Amino acid sequence: VTIMGNENQKGEREDPSALYEQGLQLMRQEKFEECERALRACLEIWEKNSNHRERVDGMLSLSQCFQKQPQRHEDSEVTIREALDVIAIHIPDNESLKAEAMLQLARCLSEDRSKERDQWYRAACEIWRHDGSHRKRATALKELGDILFNQKQYADAEEVLAQAVGAIQLCEPVDEGVLCEVFLYLGVCQCSQKKLEDARQSCLLALQLCEKLGDHVLTSAAICAIGCVLTETQGQVLEAVEMFRSATDIQKKLFGEDDPNRTMCLLGFGKCLLTAASYFEAESVFAEIIRIRKMTAVCDILNDMMNQVYYLSGLSMWHQGKALECVETLTRRLDRSTQHPQAFARLG
């Protein structure tokens, strides 16, 4: 088949469905120019024949093709908005298809348009809430919750993730792996807002699911999260130390000594040890973080500085001279990189 129009070499009309499948195959192969020609040929046929549902599907696929190309994200957005116009004019009763287009539009919007992006996510979820599409709604809510969590918008993330829990539990069958992740993120959001009892309950539910599934990676993350909650809870710091010790041991066996995946849990462990006034052990934990980051060539000056500031917090409690020597070394490093005033201020 020659993808140049609506007719093949024999002058016969193309089958748009076959051409559409070929376009999707070309997209999977990352042959984007050929994919675009195939999808546009389909769209031309469907527009002439007033096949509006198929036309919208084709436009959304074309948008995905654009989205996979770094310089064509604007084309992706324009195509989705055109698809929404086609739905509004020709098939306004197809709410589920409208929600699919809204979700795709939300996914293609850039970070500096986060408010608009969140509105599209919520609009799609509201449609699926009314029509009972629980799995689609759960997927969209988890996506939005993850985005808000990564932006440290913990109050908004908590609200969305709590809705995601409800949506996941309405699905048949329930995806317990996804539910475990959502409970874990929800617990961290609650802990960050000092909702410690709610956080503890969410993290315990996550831990129960992890152990049931036999997922050791998530189990260690859940234990670490519980450790963070207990660190913040008055009178529970010694129990928190043991939780962190267990989590770090699991991760060491899973990932090995030098894996950077260990550093987040180690950082929580170090802070917990500072709270417990175990300064000598805290210093060794922060030193381990610094060793791993240097060994794995992780280049992030700000995070490196913050880790070393915590390291110094533990060190200065029992070896002030060594701590001052480290401060002077780090200050000289920062003099060569003035892009991180936050780190400089913390060191000061």
Per-residue pLDDT tens digits of the chain, which is 348 residues long = 344 444 544 444 568 899 999 999 999 999 999 999 999 999 999 999 999 999 999 999 999 999 999 889 899 999 999 999 999 999 999 999 999 999 999 999 888 898 999 999 999 999 999 999 999 999 999 999 999 998 889 999 999 999 999 999 999 999 999 999 999 999 999 999 999 999 999 999 999 999 898 888 889 999 999 999 998 888 889 999 999 999 999 999 988 888 888 888 998 898 888 888 888 788 888 888 878 877 765 444 445 445 555 555 555 544 555 556 666 666 666 555 555 555 555 555
Cβ burial of 2 (10 Å; 0-12, 13-18, 19+) is exposed
Q: What are phi and psi of 4, to 5 degrees?
A: -135, 0
Pull the structure tokens for residue 163.
Answer: 């809705």
Q: Tokens 């599907």 correspond to what residue?
A: 57
Q: Tokens 């140049």 correspond to what residue?
A: 4
Task: Give the span between the Cα atoms of 26 and 37, in whole angstroms.
Answer: 10
Torsion over CA of 336, 337, 341 and 344, rounded to 10 degrees?
A: -50
* pLDDT tens digits, 270-283: 888 888 888 878 88
136: alpha, beta or left, given left = phi > 0 and alpha = psi -120 to 50?
Answer: alpha
Task: Give the span between the Cα atoms of 322 and 90, in whole angstroms.
Answer: 73
Q: What is the full DSSP assignment across 314-333?
A: HHTTT-HHHHHHHHHHHHHH
The single-letter DSSP state of residue 291 is: H
Q: Do 106 and 80 form a contact (C-beta atoms < 8 A)?
A: no
Query: Which residues lie across from 7 on neighbouring strands?
Result: 13
Pull the structure tokens for residue 300.
Answer: 């992030």
DSSP tally for the chain: helices H, then strands E: 17, 0
Q: Do 51 and 59 form a contact (C-beta atoms < 8 A)?
A: no
